[in-house]
Amino acid sequence: MERTDTPQPFISKSYWNAHRPHVLVVACSDGRYQKALDDFLQTSLGITDYDRMYVAGGPGALASSSLSFFRGEQFRQDTAFLIDRHGIERVVLIFHGPLLDGGPRDAVCADYDRKMPYASPAEIHAQHQKDLVEVLRGMRRAKSSLSIEVFRAEVRGDHRVQFTPLAEPDDQYGRGIA
C-alpha cells in the first residue's frame, strides 16, 4: 500500500543571516558538554554567532597524531578553506577531558582514547599540547593575522565543566608559535 501523507516542512522562526560571523569554533562533537560549551561561548567570550567545526577530537582532528595522516590533512584543508572563504578573523579551539585532579575518567575525549587507548588523562593532556603546536602552525599559515584562543573544557568531580585557557606552547627554540 502506498503512503499518501507527505511530511510537512518545518519553517524556523529564525532567519538566515547574510552576514558571516568571522568566528570559527573548533571543538569535539561530544554532545555531553555541548550545553556547557554554548554557555561558555555566550557568557564568557560573548560569542553568539559563529561557524562551527565540531568533529571527533576537536582541534586534535587537525593534527597528524590522528589515526590517519590523511584525516588530519583533510581537516587542515577544510579549516584553511573556512578561514579564507568565510573571512574568519577569530578562532576558538577547545580540547576536552577530565580535570586532572578529580575529574571522571570517562570524560576523556573518545577520539584521543581511540588514538591512545592506554594513556592516562595527563598523557592525553600532554598530547593536546603537542597537537596544538601543529594546529597553530597550520592556522597561521592559512592566515597570519588570526586571533586564536585555546581552552580545555575540563569536567570536574562534581560534573560541572570549567574552561581553562591553555597557554600558547613554545616551539623547540622556546619561542611562541608564529
| Domain boundary assignment for the chain | 23-165
Q: CA-CA distance, 94 to 80, in Å (whole number)?
A: 17
Work out the angle at residue 124's Cα, subtended by the Cα atoms of residues 66 and 91, and round it to the nearest 5 degrees. Answer: 65
Work out the angle at residue 128's Cα, subtended by the Cα atoms of residues 31 and 117, and round it to the nearest 5 degrees. Answer: 75
The per-residue pLDDT for range 75-116, each reduced to its tens digit, is: 999 999 999 999 999 999 999 999 999 999 999 999 999 989
Say what the pLDDT of residue 176 is. 56
Residues β-bridged to residue 96: 153
Burial label, 73 (beta-carbon count in 10 A; 0-12, 13-18, 19+):
middle
Class of domain 23-165: alpha beta
Residue 161 has pLDDT above 80, yes or no: yes
Q: Which residues lie below 8 Å from residue 23, measured CB to CB, with a gap of 6+? A: 47, 49, 50, 51, 88, 89, 90, 91, 92
Backbone angles phi, psi at 170, to 5 degrees: -80, 155
Q: Helix 69-85 vs helix 121-142: angle between axes, to the nearest 10 degrees?
A: 50
Say what the pLDDT of residue 6 is. 84
In sign, the C-alpha dihedral spanning 138, 66, 59, 134 is negative
Residue 175 has pLDDT above 50, yes or no: no
Give mean pLDDT, residues 49-57.
95
